Amino acid sequence: MKRGFGRWVPLAAMGAVIVALLSTLAAPECRAATAGSTAGSQRMVMAPGCYTLAPGDYEDVSAFCLDQSRAPPASGAILGNAPPTLGAAVLKVEGRSPITLQSALAQNMIQLEGLGDDLHVRIRNLTNTRLEICIDAPTVVMENGDSYTGDLAKVYGQIVRILKPSAGDTGQSGKSDSASERDARAKTQAKLWTAVNAADEAEAKEQGRTMPSGPLDSSGESAPAWYFPNKSKCTGGTSSVEVCAGQ
């Protein structure tokens, strides 16, 4: 036991507070997967850059998390959804017209895979032909089970500005791990989370304002018209129950 601030404080409790404070000061990272977690995996955004892939080859391209509370895509997870309005990436094959990233995925020309971390997305060439893929603007990718992007659409302009390549950036994935680059990446990741979290909070507030009042709500607001049954649309009944459509 240790005395502090005028009363006795258990040492174990003080230790827990210190750990919590240190956690808040740590560099941001995607939440690790936990046993029994029901949340979906991260929606990821690939940074701009061009890559050439030999037949069967792959490249691990720089990417960032978009959902702070979710775990990164598991290693080998297939990211088969690339919303066309949330990016600009094309695949170039000699002798053919360029096609969009989503078209290339649908035709099984390439495969996007998670790596179990928040740093990269793997692009794999599934063909027997040399390919070039150019990510001309930050491009959102996610697993096939994910489909909602309404929040990202509202802040995509911010995402583009946050991930704007700096002068002299070659666009290649690179493997440098200097302290300055790690710090720059952490700041970029924090900005992305701030933008997406703000959009999610705004949507939650908007949904709260548009939710209809329940029958026991005492707020004074009148219930919406659809809440009251329309007797002319009753489909059947018994001596005690009638089934009616709303207004």
pLDDT in tens, 168-182: 454 455 455 688 888
Main-chain phi, psi angles of 151, to 5 degrees: -70, -40
Please tell me the least confidently modeled range out of 15-29, 98-112, 159-173, 204-218: 15-29
pLDDT band of residue 101 (cuts 50, 70, 90) is very high
Task: State yes or no: pLDDT of 98 exceeds 80.
Answer: yes
pTM above 0.75, yes or no: no
pLDDT at 121: 97
pLDDT value of position 30: 63
In 107-178, where does DSSP find H-type helix?
A: 150-162
Amino acid at 180: S
In the predicted model, what is the mean pLDDT of the chain?
A: 76
Beta bridge partners of 91: 99, 133
- pLDDT for 113: 97
| Cβ neighbours of residue 94 closer than 8 Å, sequence gap 6 or more | 129, 130
Among the listed ranges 9-18, 73-82, 100-109, 137-146, which one has the minimum average pLDDT value? 9-18
| pLDDT digit string, tens, across residues 53-92 | 999 999 999 999 999 989 999 999 999 999 999 999 999 9
- The predicted model gives 201-223 an average pLDDT of 62
Structure tokens at 186: 């952490």
Higher pLDDT: 244 or 118? It is 118
Tokens at 219, concatenated: 């707020």
Place of tokens 């560099």: 27
| Tokens at 91, concatenated | 């695949």
